[in-house]
């Protein structure tokens, strides 16, 4: 079943005659084709994709199961959409309220002769469950990141700066086949590692530092994501305790991660380990988030998510402890949820490594 067919099959559940897809991530999901401009309209009687002269040839070759049409100055996207709306007698058209700006919404409301109905939930629900092709692509992206980790461990030494390490990671991922980064790499060392989303600086690595590296790349439109924390030279007793507490917490969350478990249950399994060790106040984010065509997407393994996680969901597993002004530790893998358990698709070792 094509992605267009999957969307069409759910239209009635959301009270829609058709779905308009305009955001870059959802266009990629629906069509399998990456572009910075375009619109898809999905109906139960056929689907359409409109784009401009920059992409029309490639889109015509790449996108199956729909009519691909070129929009021009003389015939803009809104005119093509109006023709489809009239052809299929569309009364209620879903739009992506989670991505659409007020200006864009007002423009569509003025130009399109139908009711615009919020429909982001339809696409969010579908994207939360990955098919085998998506999982295979996510694994390929993960392998590129893991190879970069192997290379960077040989690059790190006292005197290297956080910026140099971040740049080396990016180069290695691009060299390994990445299209681009999933996000700007987080490389923080020493006291900077207490900031979960710290930005790489000119700080040089020193003996006795923890270095936390959170990074990933995009391959064929899908993101990888991983974090490893390594030590340089030596560690203190407390550094070793914190590291092993985070690892124990991650393994505890992974042990309960499965289809049907709530996001909160997965989070709490890890958070309870950290709290029992006396560091509960220093773990402030969720255990994990969905990963796919976006680096953060549904579903989440957070204390706020009481809903059961679906089979086929792909989530990160990334507990951490962050002691302000001192150091921090985070360890992150990516999991595919299944009935009765999960598959950890991150193969990189995670025992405490002292370089």
Look at the block and give the residue holding tokens 């009635």: 12
In this structure, is residue 19 part of a structural domain?
A: yes
Q: pLDDT per residue over 120-178, tens digit each? A: 999 999 999 999 999 999 999 999 999 999 999 999 999 999 999 999 999 999 999 99
Do 249 and 313 lie in a common domain?
yes
Pairing mode, if any, of strands 92-95 and 18-21?
parallel
Q: How far is the C-alpha of 313 from the C-alpha of 305, rounded, in Å?
A: 14
- 100 with 28, same domain? yes
Measured between alpha carbons, how far is residue 58 from residues 67, 118, 344 in Å?
13, 30, 35
| 166 lies in the same domain as 77 | no
What is the pLDDT averaged over residues 291-295?
98
**Has residue 355 been placed in a domain?**
no
Q: Which domain holds residue 92?
A: 3-127
So what's the pLDDT on residue 107?
Answer: 97
| Total number of domains in the chain | 2
| pLDDT value, residue 237 | 98
Residue 89 has a pLDDT of 98
**Quick check: 101 and 22 in contact, CB under 8 A?**
no
Residue 349 is assigned to a structural domain of this protein: no
Cα–Cα distances in angstroms (integers) from residue 105 to residues 16, 118, 186, 296, 299, in the given order? 17, 11, 35, 24, 26
> Is residue 202 domain-shared with residue 285, that is, in the same domain?
yes
Residue closest to 293 by CA, chosen among 3, 40, 42, 60: 3
Same domain, 288 and 337: yes
Domain annotation covers residue 354: no
What is residue 172's predicted lDDT score, i.e. its pLDDT?
98
Q: What angle do CA 105, 109, 111 make, to 5 degrees?
A: 115
**Residue 47 to residue 35: CA distance in whole angstroms:** 17
Q: What is the pLDDT of residue 317?
A: 98
Which of 127, 143, 167 lies at the terminal end of a domain, its last residue? Answer: 127
**Which of 85, 100, 127 finishes a domain?**
127
Average pLDDT over residues 1-13: 96
Is residue 335 reached through a cis peptide bond, with omega within 30 degrees of 0 on the bond before it? no
SS3 at position 354: strand
Query: Domain containing 9 — which CATH number?
Result: 3.40.350.10
Q: What is the pLDDT of residue 159?
A: 98
Query: Do residues 302 and 202 both lie within one domain?
Result: yes
Q: How far lies 328's CA from each of 63, 196, 203, 207, in Å?
A: 45, 8, 16, 16
> For 307-347, how does the pLDDT look when each residue is reduced to its tens digit (9 = 90+)?
999 999 999 999 999 999 999 999 999 999 999 999 999 99
Regarding whether 197 and 172 lie in a shared domain, the answer is yes
User: Residues 34, 76: one domain?
Assistant: yes
Span 37-51, pLDDT tens digits: 999 999 999 999 999
Last residue of a domain, one of 127, 143, 178: 127
Query: Do 22 and 113 belong together in one domain?
Result: yes
In a domain, 352, yes or no: no
pLDDT in tens, 70-117: 999 999 999 999 999 999 999 999 999 999 999 999 999 999 999 999
Mean pLDDT for 263-286 is 98
Based on the fold, state whether residues 188 and 307 are members of the same structural domain: yes
* Domain annotation covers residue 263: yes
- Reading the block at residue 125, the tokens are 């629900």
| Phi/psi at 252 (5° precision) | -65, -40
Calculate the average pLDDT of the chain: 98
* Phi–psi pair at 88, nearest 5 degrees: -105, 5
Same domain, 118 and 141: no
**CATH code of the domain containing 239:** 3.90.230.10
Tokens for 177, please give them.
Answer: 């086949």
Does residue 350 lie within any of the structural domains? Answer: no
Which is nearest to 257 in space by CA: 270, 244, 276? Answer: 270
Going by their DSSP bridges, the two strands 67-70 and 46-51 should be labelled as parallel
pLDDT for res 36: 94
Q: Which residues contact residue 7 at a Cβ distance below 8 angstroms, ignoring those fewer than 6 apart? A: 19, 21, 30, 42, 47, 122, 123, 126
Q: What is the pLDDT of residue 35?
A: 94
Residue 1: the pLDDT is: 83
CB 259, CB 299: distance < 8 Å: no
Percent of the chain with pLDDT over 70: 100
Indicate if 84 and 177 belong to the same structural domain. no
pLDDT category of residue 10 using cuts at 50, 70 and 90: very high
Cα→Cα distances 145→84, 138, 215, 259, Å: 43, 11, 7, 26
Neighbours of 272 (CB within 10 A): 14
Dist CA 188 CA 186 (whole Å) = 6
Does some domain include residue 175? yes
């Amino acid at each position: 079943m094509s992605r267009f067919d999957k969307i069409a099959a759910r239209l009635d559940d959301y009270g829609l005659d058709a779905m308009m897809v305009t955001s870059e991530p959802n266009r990629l999901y629906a069509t399998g084709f990456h572009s910075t401009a375009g619109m898809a309209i999905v109906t139960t009687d056929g689907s359409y994709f409109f784009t401009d002269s920059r992409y029309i040839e490639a889109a015509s070759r790449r996108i199956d199961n729909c009519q691909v049409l070129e929009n021009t100055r003389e015939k803009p996207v809104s005119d093509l959409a109006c023709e489809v709306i009239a052809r299929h007698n569309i009364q209620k058209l879903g739009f992506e309220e989670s991505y659409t700006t007020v200006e864009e919404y007002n423009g569509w409301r003025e130009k399109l002769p139908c009711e615009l109905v919020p429909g982001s939930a339809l696409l969010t629900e579908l994207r939360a469950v990955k098919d085998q092709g998506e999982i295979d692509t996510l694994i390929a992206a993960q392998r590129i990141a893991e190879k970069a980790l192997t290379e960077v461990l040989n690059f790190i030494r006292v005197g290297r700066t956080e910026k140099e390490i971040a740049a080396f990671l990016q180069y290695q991922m691009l060299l390994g086949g990445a299209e681009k980064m999933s996000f700007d790499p987080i490389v923080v060392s020493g006291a900077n590692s207490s900031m979960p989303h710290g930005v790489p600086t000119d700080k040089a690595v020193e003996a006795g530092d923890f270095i936390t590296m959170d990074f990933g790349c995009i391959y064929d439109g899908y993101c990888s994501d991983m974090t490893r924390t390594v030590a340089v030279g030596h560690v203190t007793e407390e550094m070793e305790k914190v590291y092993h507490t985070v690892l124990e917490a991650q393994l505890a969350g992974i042990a309960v991660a499965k289809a049907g478990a709530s996001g909160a249950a997965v989070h709490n399994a890890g958070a309870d380990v950290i709290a029992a060790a006396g560091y509960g106040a220093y773990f402030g984010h969720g255990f994990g988030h969905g990963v796919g065509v976006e680096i953060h997407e549904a579903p989440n393994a957070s204390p706020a998510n009481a809903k059961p996680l679906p089979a086929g969901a792909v989530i990160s597993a990334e507990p951490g402890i962050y002691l302000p002004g001192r150091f921090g530790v985070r360890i992150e893998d990516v999991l595919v949820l299944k009935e009765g358990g999960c598959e950890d698709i991150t193969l990189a070792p995670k025992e405490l490594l002292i370089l």
